[in-house]
Amino acid sequence: MTQSLEDLQRLLRPGVTLSGDDASGPIVDVEHGGHRARISLFGGHVFDWQPAGEAPVLWLSSGTRFDRQRSIRGGTPVCWPWFAVHPEHADWPMHGFARNTMWRLESVGEAAGQVTVRLGLPVEEPHARYFAPAMRPTLDLVIGDSLTFELVQTNAGNEPVQIGQALHTYFEIGDIAAIEITGLEANRFIDKLVIERDGGERAAEGRPITVSGEIDRIYRDLAEPITLVDHELGRRIEIVHEGASNAVVWNPWVAKTERLGDMGTADAYRTMMCIETGNVPPEALMLAPGETHRLTTRYRVQ
């Protein structure tokens, strides 16, 4: 059921307001303690986060249209309840339906200088045909000098349910040639660019990741925090995670930027880097009846 403007306004707190229009749908704006964030209820999507005294952390395509016709390109898309192409239904929505669905604003709270916004994803028509309606995921967004996501799902049904999930976060960077990613040196990975040729399984490289062309990798056996080191902007973005088996590292480079069609400019790939945390094939979750899983990821600028 769609929330009315009056219902939404009753949930707000000081420093939390609503914007948006008929095309975009409601947008929750947070301005608290010098920190700011903007959250689209379409997709449960944080598309702007700026801690006090810092430059914006999330990249957003200049070609993004807030029209609820397609997912937002940039920010923090929520991939759920499957990742990439559905393994059995190739015509179903890429990365699931959560990023193309209106979420509900369930609560807004404030404590210890941080604002918590809780969203809920209704699994109802037309999306119930894709997935078990016994699932009722919630997403807690904790906004302050760090940005924390906690995606919680419980299988309230009587049968096991497989879940693929990822926080598909786009980070703003100074220049792709001047970044490195640490924390994954010891992890084996699947190179999705060659997966059809030889399965894509690769051994750990033993060195930080740098990018000089299209990259699309699923890192396995995730354990350590990940750090995006940005030499151009002079900052480090720390990614701490819990309940995640995988990290996906992605940049479309030149040709795919053109094919995607919504990246904004031909050289947009130079100022963005995706580092995703989650549980994706071959490590997708299998939730038993009554089982709950929490995927938690925190971003902090150092």
What is the domain-level CATH number for residue 16?
2.70.98.10
Does residue 137 lie in a domain region?
yes
Average pLDDT over residues 96-110: 95
Q: Is the pLDDT of residue 291 over 70?
A: yes
Output the pLDDT for position 136.
82
Output the pLDDT for position 112.
87
Selecting among 127, 168, 172, 241, the annotated active-site residue is: 168
- Predicted confidence (pLDDT) per residue in 9-20, tens digit: 999 999 999 999
Q: Is the pLDDT of residue 131 over 80?
A: no
Does residue 167 lie in a domain region?
yes
> Dihedral (C-alpha) 105, 43, 1, 285: value to the nearest 10 degrees?
-100
Does residue 166 lie in a domain region?
yes
* Domain housing 94: 5-174+249-290
Does residue 285 lie in a domain region?
yes
Output the pLDDT for position 103.
96
Distant-in-sequence, close-in-space partners of 267: CB < 8 Å, separation ≥ 6: 257
Q: Is the pLDDT of residue 181 over 80?
A: yes
- Predicted confidence (pLDDT) per residue in 52-63, tens digit: 999 999 999 999
Average pLDDT over residues 201-208: 98
Does residue 91 lie in a domain region?
yes
Dihedral sign of CA atoms 142, 131, 247, 50 in order? negative
Assessment of whether the complete model's pTM goes beyond 0.75: yes
Whether 168 is catalytic is yes
- Mean residue pLDDT across the chain: 94
Output the pLDDT for position 132.
66
Whether 276 is catalytic is yes
Instruction: Decide if 216 contacts 191 (C-beta within 8 A).
Output: yes
Output the pLDDT for position 262.
94
User: One-letter amino acid identity for 221?
Assistant: D
Q: Is the pLDDT of residue 220 over 70?
A: yes
> What is the C-alpha to C-alpha distance for residues 166 and 83, in angstroms, rounded to an integer?
7
Q: Give the closest residue to 211 by CA, choosing from 238, 236, 176.
A: 176
Does residue 182 lie in a domain region?
no
pLDDT, greater one: 132 or 208 = 208
Task: Domain count for the chain, please give it.
Answer: 1
Output the pLDDT for position 255.
97
Does residue 152 lie in a domain region?
yes
Output the pLDDT for position 126.
72
Q: Is the pLDDT of residue 157 over 80?
A: yes
Distant-in-sequence, close-in-space partners of 41: CB < 8 Å, separation ≥ 6: 25, 26, 27, 28, 102, 103, 104, 105, 119
Selecting among 276, 283, 291, 293, the annotated active-site residue is: 276
